[in-house]
Chain A
């Protein structure tokens, strides 16, 4: 394992070490705290009550992109690139030999049944953009190939896992999507890992995203995950965070701050 690099407060490792870092050392996994999820939910509910008051009757929708908004280039191309790479994640995890990443990703997108809008956007691209996208997807595919190979199926890999959380009697809906989930819940030790794949370089907002996904998973299943990670296919690096009560408490603050900003807007 090579030494990780740092970017601000982030500790970033090479993408090829993702699986090794998610697995971690044996015997050091934290016990599942059966009261943690209830406590975190109570923090959130109390925080909503304190910030918005009992009289507040609005409805709010919060997604990963609200908590960790995309930085840098806007437009259809980065979004399409991300959607196509997400399709390739599932195929790499399944161990498919991918020949012609761009076309395979489009085929997978078409048969996924969930990306009609993206397919429409793709059909509207001109030749130059299509060529650019083809090259970019192929480059990102190389990183996936090196970081997600030899993933044991006994780790129960699941792709495109949706996470949701209803708060304040259903008036606040928080949603997220994890590109890859590993491990099974139900044991005495935390053993699930979440991986989000991004096609942009890692920065501080990915740390926020890690916290948000860990919060949703904890409240969805009643068990905190072991680790949460973001894999950047843009720079072949990954950010892996251990999940503990401190990280979840920070996630609660993040969510409340974003909700407060939404209400103020």
Chain B
């Protein structure tokens, strides 16, 4: 069985899925890696860069209906991850204060010209105080959920690390995997709402992208849906990696079609 489902798992159980080393660590086969990269490079150069992630795979290659824009909702994970890290490392015991510190830090960086245009920091710097506070509240709630799920101070799990990214050479394609918590043997990500029918496929893609980015395959990828108390643990096996690679390639096709037609 390569996917397990949990209802309201205690922090110790979740932490164990992230820390328990598998009997035999799995390697990403060179042949699979080469095949995947080749498939993503075909059939023609893209006009615009594209990003592939679990979200796109779960929707079968369909992109979000509206263009991305910064809102309190879209900013909450970026801010919340840093706030969760501040809580876990004892910088402050207060989630709202941690989120406010992160908002202030980003605003300072934007004012000093250290952040790129279109990013979160310039948007926050240009926003009013109520909007910034709204962002801090959303981020604090997100950080609170992550900390309540994992209790990193007890379990030793790392929270708030950077996501995994992998640039496919010659394909103008970036692969992205969200990583909200990690330990020796696994990665965990928080999700909204209810698990989709293809949640396991999405988590497997996260595992594959982490493997491409870090060079080693995580033993497990854990998806947590705190709104519903559900968690799915996907064991990364050779067949899962193979499946994830196929799903990535399939999801890539609908995205590249408009560009090809336009060309």
Contacts and interface: CB of A to CB of B under 8 A. Distances in A.
Interface of A: 37, 41, 87, 90-91, 93-96, 98, 104, 107-108, 111-114, 153-154, 156-166, 170, 173, 181, 184-186, 219-222
Contacts of A186: 11, 148, 151
B133 A164 contact: no
List the 10 closest pairs (A to B, CB-CB), nearest first.
Answer: A113-B71, A222-B8, A158-B141, A113-B73, A164-B228, A94-B133, A220-B229, A111-B131, A164-B227, A162-B227
Given A37-B8, A157-B140, A221-B229, 13 more contacts: A91-B133, A95-B133, A108-B134, A111-B127, A153-B95, A156-B94, A156-B140, A162-B193, A173-B194, A185-B148, A220-B226, A221-B8, A221-B148
B96 A220 contact: no
Contacts of B8: 37, 219-222
Contacts, number: 105
B97 A159 contact: no
Contacts of A41: 7
A113 B228 contact: no
A87 B73 CA distance: 13
Interface string B93-109: 11111000000000000
Nearest to A219: B229
9 contacts: A90-B133, A90-B137, A95-B133, A107-B131, A111-B72, A111-B127, A111-B134, A114-B73, A156-B95
B134 A112 contact: yes
A219 B228 CA distance: 8
Interface of B: 7-8, 10-11, 69, 71-74, 93-97, 127-131, 133-138, 140-141, 144, 148, 151, 192-194, 225-230
B120 to A, nearest CB: 13
B96 A94 contact: yes
A154 B94 contact: yes
Nearest to A95: B133
A236 B148 CA distance: 33
Nearest to A88: B130
Given A112-B73, A158-B141, A165 B148 contact: no
